[in-house]
Structure 1
Amino acid sequence: MAGLDWESLTEATSGAVGALVSTTVFYPLDTCKTKYQAEVQSHGSQKYRNLSDVLWEAISSNQVLSLYQGLGTKNLQSFISQFIYFYGYNYFKRLYLVKSGAKFVGTKANLVVGAAAGACTVILTQPLDIVSARMQTCAFGKSKGFWETLTEGSWRDAFDGLGVSLLLTSNPAIQFTVYDQLKHRVLHRQSSKDLSPTGESSPAALSAFSAFVLGAFSKSVATVLTYPAIRCKVMIQASDSDDGDNEVGKSKSPKTFLGALYAIWKKEGILGFFKGLHAQILKTVLASALLLMIKEKISRYTWISMLALRRYLLASRRTIKSA
């Protein structure tokens, strides 16, 4: 049990729980945003002129509950991806500090660490990301089940957009680099350390308000810098079906990053690369800020629980050896 990185495990668990809550709370907004981003049509023939058109379509067709189609898959993907990301992010940071002898992870090193953790996350969770995107972009009320969606194409289809997803590991890398740098400055002002009931120091935590503000700001920076790639990813992963006017778009979704870039440039011009940016910022900033707020608030209790679990496992191990 000594080989486990308990602090990284604590961060991963807290982050995964925060992701589960934030994904559920903002899922209808996420569905509207994804369908709006996936459409690529000439300005005169666009089905969705703004985000509210997607919501109105669901209401007018009595398919409001379809705004939650794919929620289970998205929750699973969010929980697993955030657990892997936060564990990898904290593990690589600690490894860097041990190997380098530095007292603090600088900006450049933080970006590399964040990208490495993001790459591990993407490779392991890409099929789930594909399935959730296709379930969201299906016509309202016509979403298929998880297994049917996953197996409707070849195994290669389950990794559509992997290249752009790896490119987008820069998004959380930028986000958590900005967040960590700001968090470090805030916590640096605190002179005292909180102690757990066992007498061991627990990881310092931000207040809920501070975590929310820092989370919102850091995600805004990352989103603006990487948005063209975000939209291309949504288009690549969007559902293709034969439902005519009920579909998100009338043409097949591009399957490569360059194909998506060309489709946007040809039909929408340069402004098309930022179509839906306001919706992306609204959803991801609120969701990310809520995630980080929850993570910071429960990390102390998660740490105490992990210490208790470690003590229990060590005691059980000693009992087994002595038997």
Structure 2
Amino acid sequence: MPVNQESPAFIALVQASAGAAGAVFASLVLQPVEVAKTRIQISHEGDDSTLETMRKIAVADGPLGLWLGAGGKCTENGAKNFAYFYIYDWMNAVVKQYMAVTTSAKLVLGYVAGVGNTLINMPLEVISTKMQLDDAKGLGTLGMLRRIIQDDGVGALYTGLGYNIALCINPAIQNTILDKLKETILRQMKRRNPEVTPALTAFQAFTLGAFAKAVATVVTYPLVRLKTNLPLGRSCSCVDMIP
């Protein structure tokens, strides 16, 4: 049976697969920074820079210590990006068949996709965060899953669910900003050269994505900081986040 390449499901599958592959590669490359960030966020002092924290980890645990929990993080981010982009692009394609997708509509679609993604993949996030700690050495993803369930019960896999639901605005903001920037740039390129179909270069796409992610992260970072402490079993409240 031939595949309908114009169907919302097929378009969503292509976008989701590309997003998942990119996320796995980025996670592998950036894992040392992720490990250092997690260590800084759970420390009481927080005085060391990212590079200094990475140096201390490499000295104490060897270079491979910087990739502690890489398997879990790659699995988490690959699954999260696949689920998010599949839900988002499928809904976006369906809505386009009936109405123009405005900026506010994209923000809503992004948030709904984020909520669905969170409900599916939150256990992987809890597991990958715990695997970046010192006491997780030698444990794989399944080993950490068993430890969490044995020690704290299945409910621990959804610790901080409320904060994660709130943080679904992060990818919504990121993708809305990215889409608007892409539309603006492509429109300008088309205006300058109407005979050529405009397309972003890899560098342009990377730069726009990084900028959109930075804006979304700055807006939601207080919740990110709070959420990081929750899977670690710390008692933490919103008051604790006030300097």
Name the TM-score, length of structure 1 as normaliser: 0.66
Letter in 1 for 2:228: V
**Partner residue, 2:113:** 117
**Partner residue, 1:230:** 224
**Partner residue, 2:137:** 142
Decide which structure has the larger Cα Rg and report it.
Answer: 1
**Partner residue, 2:39:** 35
After superposition, the Cα gap between the structure-2 partners of 1:4 and 1:183, relative to the gap in structure 1 and judged at 3 Å, is: closer
Contact 1:63 1:140 in 2 (8 A): no
After superposition, the Cα gap between the structure-2 partners of 1:10 and 1:193, relative to the gap in structure 1 and judged at 3 Å, is: farther
Contact 2:12 2:89 in 1 (8 A): yes
After superposition, the Cα gap between the structure-2 partners of 1:34 and 1:79, relative to the gap in structure 1 and judged at 3 Å, is: same
Secondary structure at the aligned position of 2:137 is classed as coil
**Partner residue, 2:10:** 6
Q: Select the structure that is richer in helix.
A: 2
Contact 1:69 1:135 in 2 (8 A): yes
Give how far 1:140 is off: 6.9
Give how far 1:261 is off: 2.1
Q: What is the Cα-based RMSD across aligned positions, in Å?
A: 2.1
**Partner residue, 1:126:** 122
State whether structure 2 residue 205 is matched by structure 1 residue 211.
yes
Contact 1:12 1:86 in 2 (8 A): yes
- Same amino acid, percent of matched pairs: 31
State whether structure 2 residue 238 is matched by structure 1 residue 261.
yes
State whether structure 2 residue 59 is matched by structure 1 residue 55.
no
Give how far 1:65 is off: 0.8
Secondary structure at the aligned position of 1:96 is classed as helix
Higher relative contact order (CA 8 A, sep 6+): 1
| Structure 2 Cα separation of the partners of residues 192 and 128 of structure 1 | 47
Give how far 1:147 is off: 2.1
Letter in 1 for 2:170: N
| Structure 1 Cα separation of the partners of residues 240 and 138 of structure 2 | 25
Letter in 1 for 2:94: L
Letter in 2 for 1:34: T
Name the TM-score, length of structure 2 as normaliser: 0.87
Letter in 2 for 1:186: I
Secondary structure at the aligned position of 1:21 is classed as helix
Structure 1 residue ranges without an equivalent (≥5): 195-203, 241-252, 270-323
| Structure 2 Cα separation of the partners of residues 52 and 8 of structure 1 | 38
Contact 1:38 1:231 in 2 (8 A): no
Give how far 1:38 is off: 2.1
Letter in 2 for 1:125: N
* Residue number among 201, 212, 215 corresponding to 1:221 in the alignment: 215
Contact 1:38 1:235 in 2 (8 A): yes
| Structure 1 Cα separation of the partners of residues 116 and 199 of structure 2 | 26
Contact 2:16 2:86 in 1 (8 A): yes
Aligned residues: 231
Give how far 1:225 is off: 0.6
| Structure 2 Cα separation of the partners of residues 146 and 179 of structure 1 | 33
| Structure 2 Cα separation of the partners of residues 59 and 66 of structure 1 | 6
| Structure 2 Cα separation of the partners of residues 135 and 48 of structure 1 | 23
| Structure 1 Cα separation of the partners of residues 23 and 64 of structure 2 | 21
After superposition, the Cα gap between the structure-2 partners of 1:163 and 1:6, relative to the gap in structure 1 and judged at 3 Å, is: same
Give how far 1:122 is off: 0.7
